[in-house]
Amino acid sequence: MKINKTYIAPMVGRTDIFFRILIRSISDSINLFTEMTTCDAYLFTDRRNYKVDTNEHHISIQLAGSDPKKFAKCAKIIEANGYDELNINVGCPSSKVIKGAFGACLMKEPKILSSIVTEINEHSDIPISIKTRLGLNYDESLDLLINLITETRAVGCRKFIIHARNAILGGLSPKKNRSIPKLRYQDAETIKNMFPDLEFIINGGIEEIELIEEKLDIFDGVMIGRKIYSDPIFIQRLQNHLDGKDFQLSRSEIVEKYLDAIQLLKHHNSNYLILRHLFGLYYNTSKSKKWKKLLHQIISEDLNVNELRKFKEH
């Protein structure tokens, strides 16, 4: 099965429990990620109480921070809560991250990163991965990345997710940092070839099935973010293509599955939170406008979300 080599990218404000339920209503095999959480937010909010649902596996939680001891504390709780993997964020370029000296800034601090990996390993058995960029600012050499991988591999990190562009610190917003620095897949491939014993997942601007297939021949996995968020049904096409299946849930069936699963959640949640990730479900179809209008109406008039079940797909 090839679909289990694909990953939903971690996205703040998007890959929350509702989006993950939506994805699981479409595919039970694509790998899931949480949103990025700082170690402090994990330790001191009710995030630490969330236990992974059996349907969510395989799921990685992404943590950001720079204090190895805090990572160790989080790792113990994360392991007990049932996550399959702890991913360390070494790619986020936001100004908050620069102040806190974590995220992409850690590319310059491989010793801190290796202490983080060591501490996690000493206090838990959870598998670790690192999500990072090719480099920082306008320097296109791969020295920082090679150093980072060498140091963390020496203390047991085996898996790296490479967003195949640099992070520009201090000059560009996070959004611009996802489009302006140029994509350099070839450099990611060079890294993959330098460390044949490690696992590399490629990420960044991968939106077509053919490109995913091509990258799966080179890398150990492919991570996709914005394309899946704007067009979740894409996963179904991808899964069928990669694994030679012809399995097709209708959009109405997906909505049924989604609403049934949401209704099992214990907390009361606002319609906005429940529905905000569904806007792309009819992406590029003649029903898209009507669908979005209905979602807006249910949210703004606080109607029962089950109204969605009445939507006529054809």
Active-site amino acid positions: 92
Mark 38-77 with x for binding to ligand FMN (rule: CB under 6 A) and - for no binding.
------------------------x---------------
* Interaction residues for ligand FMN, span 195-254 (CB under 6 A): 203-206, 224-227
Assess 91 for contact with ligand FMN (CB under 6 A): yes
Minimal CB distance to ligand FMN: which residue? 225
CB nearer to ligand FMN: give 75 or 164: 164
CB nearer to ligand FMN: give 221 or 225: 225
- What's CA 221's distance to the chain center, in Å? 13
Which of 17, 39, 61, 92: binder of ligand FMN (CB under 6 A)?
Answer: 92
Which of 3, 6, 7, 9: binder of ligand FMN (CB under 6 A)?
Answer: 9
- Hey, what are 65's tokens? 């921070």
Assess 11 for contact with ligand FMN (CB under 6 A): yes
Q: Least separation, in Å, of the C-beta of 253 and ligand FMN? A: 26
Q: Least separation, in Å, of the C-beta of 44 and ligand FMN? A: 19
Question: Using CB under 6 A, which of the segments 77-85, 89-97, 237-245, 273-281 binds ligand FMN?
Answer: 89-97
CB nearer to ligand FMN: give 68 or 225: 225
Q: Least separation, in Å, of the C-beta of 130 and ligand FMN? A: 10
Assess 287 for contact with ligand FMN (CB under 6 A): no
Catalog residues that contact ligand FMN under the rule CB under 6 A: 9-14, 35-36, 62, 89, 91-92, 131, 163, 178, 203-206, 224-227
